[in-house]
Chain A
């Protein structure tokens, strides 16, 4: 039996690997024009044998691609009562939310499974299984929404879809094949969880986890290529004629910056959604043990979300810098044009994310009897976080009446105006990150007492590290931000980020050594959490969802009236960029639909384990 199972597993594994190796065959490795020339040569060969003067004629069979079409309103099919743009917008956003969730969950499920395997603590294995169970239904919904999006594009934007399919046909075909691979691996990974346990079987299961992540990421990277091509087209000339190969079009200027940003953001997002699941289960739990379990699950989900949330601003900053590098015009439209006010909304949302994540950590200190040592310091962290949030939230240009404008002497406030520009906001974000990390340090230490002889020196070193680092962040922000020219204003953000990373990494290393073999004050009281703390987890998930929707609007909106930036103009009646209020309404409706579907997914995961005995319903078997 064991040998048979091993053979089946090995066979499935080989199939998936084979499918992945076959992918490059669908991507033309050679330059398209070379491929066309080769094709033309082979086609011309028999002809030249038949007629000697044929060689003198130009190659007629070379593939020539048409330019991007010039569309009018009549080229966009309509269905009465359906707003094509809103429909495609909502479906694309819902697909992206679910897609982000199902790509992210296997990443941390794999890591949690490894932790369980290394520590031989079955709780981790059970938690990883519970997470993947939640994502199973979400996976189907992702596929359904993806299909709906394709239909939406074909129905309402046929010329755009045709143009993109002409350039990306190979990768679109590969994408469809990868879906089979993804389904196969996911189902083996999920349904084989309890079958592939212990010894070598666990290694096989883990390998499936790795493959699941590899396939999931490939799917996301391919879809990202189509999206980023529309922003920063490559392998096409000014008229939109495709003159390169698929790889060049995929590997366009903004592809990797988006890939990095989405991988990090997806993990944070997946963590927050799973945290909401744990919060829901915690609040619904009837038994003490159940509450303790879901408190622990919620803590881990929040930990995952924060761990990814910390580097996320840097990934976002990198993406924005690359947008500027690709097109200064695009960058300025994003940060200084009609979308500038988006970043004030973004500040509110990210402020909500950080405050809720910190609040949950502070509540979590209640699980420990040793937390009283750190509790008095929390109020200072809270004050810094609120101040940093307020600086980030301060707009550059104020909206004023004429008399207010005259009183103020311009649209910028004399004192608050200095907080409106990027150096102040960069400084505030770095403070937000550093103090969130400090909250985490306090949480970790709350239940522990260091036993190493150099604990006092270690503490002093950490205090010095934080102090010097924060002073450095302020100096970089103030001096380079206000007393030098624009070039340094932007450039100073990099050493600021490096300072924050240095504080976090060095402090973690010191802590790891200092608390090695540390004593526990008392066993942690899992489940000793106020109900309000669970709403912080909900706030995290809802804010994240809404934020992703809003930033999706911006990412797409900076193309303005172009389907593909500067080469394929949007000729539809909806070619104008919608205002912020309108976009906020669409995003809000999308978030409500998504949250309703997610709660449905949570509910499905709870009923799958229920078994009702219907006495007297079934015929008694002899």
Chain B
């Protein structure tokens, strides 16, 4: 019986060690919640807003930056406009695009039409792209979202933006009336959805690029916090540089979410 307890205690100790390391030895990253369809009023959008929407999709729902980044997993897209002209003339090009806009669209939905040398699927001799069709599967961008991404890519690569803002909702209609997305219920959900923890230490998030917000309510008023969210460049915290925090939360957050977040942070003492 003595050995039973000794081995049981030892096993518990080992399990506790692994549990402790997993909980306290590594950063606790909360995976983002599943993406939700957003209702967008495209008719009221300016081209700048449409391009910004494309950037948001490029960096978020589209998951483009998973591969199109400095790690070299996929080609960088900073010169995609200029490159498109050359690639459409390349003998390896299998698509039907005639313009830069069509070429980018084709690259998004038929990525194997042209595979940049060195970036094809292993063993395919650069004839097959590892990139999925972003209009289907898990990414599932609709035509309006595709157009926004194309506008963003044209703009960010210094090309002329030829895309026109579609006169339709970005969310797929499928016969059903678009549903207004409900406001989030807790401040933690707001923090996760808007990615505050990417830069700030707050709630369970451990971002370190922006100010630590775990005791922000001690020194900042609600008005200050509200302004910091809506107009982040108004006051830059000591020891930090400006231009880091997105200025778009005012358009993205619902009033209820904003007030819930402000009240929550004011209570962090």
Q: Closest A residue to B135 by CB, please name it.
A: A238
Segment of B30-38, B89-97, B260-268 engaged in the interface with chain A: B30-38
Q: Closest A residue to B22 by CB, please name it.
A: A584
On whether the beta carbons of A348 and B137 are closer than 8 Å, the reply is: no
When A542-B11, A585-B19, A588-B18 are in contact, do A338 and B66 touch as well, CB less than 8 Å? no
Segment of A100-108, A128-136, A303-311, A573-581 engaged in the interface with chain B: A573-581
Q: Closest B residue to A330 by CB, please name it.
A: B138
Return the 8 tightest CB-CB contacts between A and B, nearest first: A584-B22, A561-B34, A566-B137, A577-B31, A566-B138, A486-B72, A581-B23, A328-B130
- Residue of B19, B26, B28, B212 near A588 (CB, 8 A) is B19
On whether the beta carbons of B22 and A580 are closer than 8 Å, the reply is: yes
Compute how far the CA of A592 lies from the CA of B206 in the bound complex, rounded to whole angstroms: 30
Q: Closest B residue to A340 by CB, please name it.
A: B29
Shortest CB distance A521–B (Å): 32
Residue of B18, B23, B35, B131 ringed by the most chain A CB atoms within 10 A: B18
- Residue of B3, B7, B31 near A579 (CB, 8 A) is B31
How many CB-defined contacts (below 8 Å) exist between A and B? 145
Shortest CB distance B121–A (Å): 7
Shortest CB distance A355–B (Å): 12
On whether the beta carbons of B131 and A328 are closer than 8 Å, the reply is: yes
Interface residues of A in 392-420 (CB under 8 A from B): 395, 399-405
Interface residues of A in 200-251 (CB under 8 A from B): 238
Shortest CB distance B95–A (Å): 21
Compute how far the CA of A343 lies from the CA of B130 in the bound complex, rounded to whole angstroms: 24
A451 within 8 A of B: no
A595 within 8 A of B: yes
When A329-B66, A333-B66, A579-B28 are in contact, do A565 and B138 touch as well, CB less than 8 Å? yes
- Residue of A280, A341, A583 near B7 (CB, 8 A) is A280
Interface residues of B in 188-247 (CB under 8 A from A): 204, 206, 208-212, 239-240
A591 within 8 A of B: yes
On whether the beta carbons of B21 and A238 are closer than 8 Å, the reply is: no
On whether the beta carbons of B63 and A348 are closer than 8 Å, the reply is: no
Interface residues of B in 1-47 (CB under 8 A from A): 3-4, 6-8, 10-12, 14-16, 18-19, 21-23, 26-35
Compute how far the CA of A542 lies from the CA of B12 in the bound complex, rounded to whole angstroms: 9
A538 within 8 A of B: yes
**Secondary structure call for the A interface:** helix
Q: Closest A residue to B24 by CB, please name it.
A: A581
Specify which chain A residues have a CB less than 8 angstroms from the CB of B11 in the assembled complex: 538, 542, 592, 595
A349 within 8 A of B: yes
Compute how far the CA of A344 lies from the CA of B29 in the bound complex, rounded to whole angstroms: 14
Shortest CB distance A382–B (Å): 20
**Secondary structure call for the B interface:** loop
Specify which chain A residues have a CB less than 8 angstroms from the CB of B3 in the assembled complex: 280, 283-284
Interface residues of A in 530-581 (CB under 8 A from B): 535, 538-539, 542-543, 546, 550, 560-562, 565-567, 569-570, 575-581
Q: Closest A residue to B26 by CB, please name it.
A: A341
Specify which chain B residues have a CB less than 8 angstroms from the CB of A45 in the assembled complex: none
- Residue of A338, A349, A546, A569 near B31 (CB, 8 A) is A338
Beyond A349-B18, A486-B71, A577-B31, 19 additional pairs, beta carbon < 8 A? A283-B6, A329-B139, A332-B67, A333-B66, A336-B71, A337-B66, A338-B31, A348-B21, A399-B26, A399-B27, A538-B11, A542-B14, A570-B34, A580-B26, A580-B28, A592-B12, A599-B4, A599-B7, A599-B8
A487 within 8 A of B: yes
When A328-B130, A329-B138 are in contact, do A560 and B34 touch as well, CB less than 8 Å? yes
When A332-B73, A349-B18 are in contact, do A400 and B137 touch as well, CB less than 8 Å? no
Compute how far the CA of A608 lies from the CA of B172 in the bound complex, rounded to whole angstroms: 65
- Residue of B7, B66, B118, B138 near A332 (CB, 8 A) is B66
B136 within 8 A of A: yes
On whether the beta carbons of B208 and A402 are closer than 8 Å, the reply is: yes
Compute how far the CA of A561 lies from the CA of B118 in the bound complex, rounded to whole angstroms: 32
Shortest CB distance B123–A (Å): 9
On whether the beta carbons of B18 and A576 are closer than 8 Å, the reply is: no
15 A-B contact pairs sorted by A residue (CB < 8 Å): A328-B67, A328-B132, A332-B66, A333-B66, A348-B18, A400-B208, A401-B208, A539-B14, A550-B22, A565-B138, A576-B34, A579-B28, A580-B22, A585-B19, A592-B15
Shortest CB distance A453–B (Å): 49
- Residue of A405, A580, A581, A588 near B208 (CB, 8 A) is A405
Q: Mark B121-157, 1 if CB is under 8 A from A, else 0.
A: 1100000001110001111000000000000000000
On whether the beta carbons of B29 and A579 are closer than 8 Å, the reply is: yes
Compute how far the CA of A333 lies from the CA of B63 in the bound complex, rounded to whole angstroms: 10
On whether the beta carbons of A325 and B121 are closer than 8 Å, the reply is: yes
Specify which chain A residues have a CB less than 8 angstroms from the CB of B212 in the assembled complex: 401-402
Specify which chain A residues have a CB less than 8 angstroms from the CB of B28 in the assembled complex: 579-581
Interface residues of A (CB under 8 A from B): 238, 279-280, 283-284, 324-325, 327-329, 332-333, 336-338, 341, 344-345, 348-349, 352, 395, 399-405, 485-487, 535, 538-539, 542-543, 546, 550, 560-562, 565-567, 569-570, 575-581, 583-585, 588, 591-592, 595, 599
Specify which chain A residues have a CB less than 8 angstroms from the CB of B26 in the assembled complex: 341, 344-345, 395, 399, 580
- Residue of A402, A575, A580 near B240 (CB, 8 A) is A402
When A402-B208, A560-B34, A579-B30 are in contact, do A345 and B137 touch as well, CB less than 8 Å? no
Compute how far the CA of A401 lies from the CA of B207 in the bound complex, rounded to whole angstroms: 8
Specify which chain A residues have a CB less than 8 angstroms from the CB of B19 in the assembled complex: 584-585, 588
Specify which chain A residues have a CB less than 8 angstroms from the CB of B132 in the assembled complex: 327-329
Specify which chain A residues have a CB less than 8 angstroms from the CB of B131 in the assembled complex: 328
Specify which chain B residues have a CB less than 8 angstroms from the CB of A486 in the assembled complex: 71-73
On whether the beta carbons of A336 and B66 are closer than 8 Å, the reply is: yes
Specify which chain A residues have a CB less than 8 angstroms from the CB of B210 in the assembled complex: 402
Shortest CB distance A289–B (Å): 18
Specify which chain B residues have a CB less than 8 angstroms from the CB of A279 in the assembled complex: 7
Compute how far the CA of A467 lies from the CA of B34 in the bound complex, rounded to whole angstroms: 51
When A348-B21, A579-B29, A579-B204 are in contact, do A546 and B67 touch as well, CB less than 8 Å? no
